[in-house]
Every structure is written in structure tokens, then in C-alpha cells.
Amino acid sequence: QFAAAVHELVLQARASERGQFNLQRVDLGAVIMSVLGAVREHRVMIEPNYMTLLAGIGVLEGLGRQLDPTLDLLSMALPMLARLAVSGALGVGGPWPQ
């Protein structure tokens, strides 16, 4: 049920404008609050490091809105995420544990 709730939140965030994931179109703060509401509703335990990450995302969102709200976050992040995945730093791709 929790996974379905988070999936629905992602679909709602994506529905704002296909192909554009920028701070003008997506309110990350509202998305994070909705995810935390689902966490609370479904009594899901989350790691403290995840909460620190969410706080950091909130700060970066505010800074990003001030500097360039039209920046397409996904197109900027994809090359970095691909490099991390290939290196194995994300726990996907790269050498698999034996």
C-alpha cells in the first residue's frame, strides 16, 4: 500500500508537465511532505540519514528557485546518476556482489 501511495505521488508530480522537471513546475516541498504523510500513514520506518537528505533537498530547492527556477533538474542529474550507477556507488550497475 505504501509503494502504491508513493507511486501515485510520483505520477501526480510528473503530470504537471511532461518532459519538464523544473522548480517552476514541480513543488518538491509539497512532494516531500506528501511522501512523509504516506510514511506516517503506513507507519514506515525511515533511516535518519534519509530525513537529513530530505532537509537538504528542501534547502537546495529554495536556493534553486532563487537562482534559476527554469533549470530542468532531471536533465542535469541524469549524466551524474548514470556515472554513479556505472561505478556501483548507487548499488545498481557496476560489479555485483558474489
Per residue in 38-82, pLDDT (tens digit) is: 888 989 888 888 888 888 888 888 888 889 888 777 677 778 878
Distances (CA, A) of 61 to 4, 20, 24, 89: 25, 16, 11, 24
Structure confidence at residue 90 as a pLDDT band (50, 70, 90) = low
> How far is residue 97's CA from residue 5's CA, in Å, rounded to a whole number?
31
Structure confidence at residue 96 as a pLDDT band (50, 70, 90) = very low
DSSP 95: S
Is pTM beyond 0.75? Reply is no
pLDDT, tens only, 6-15? 888 877 776 6
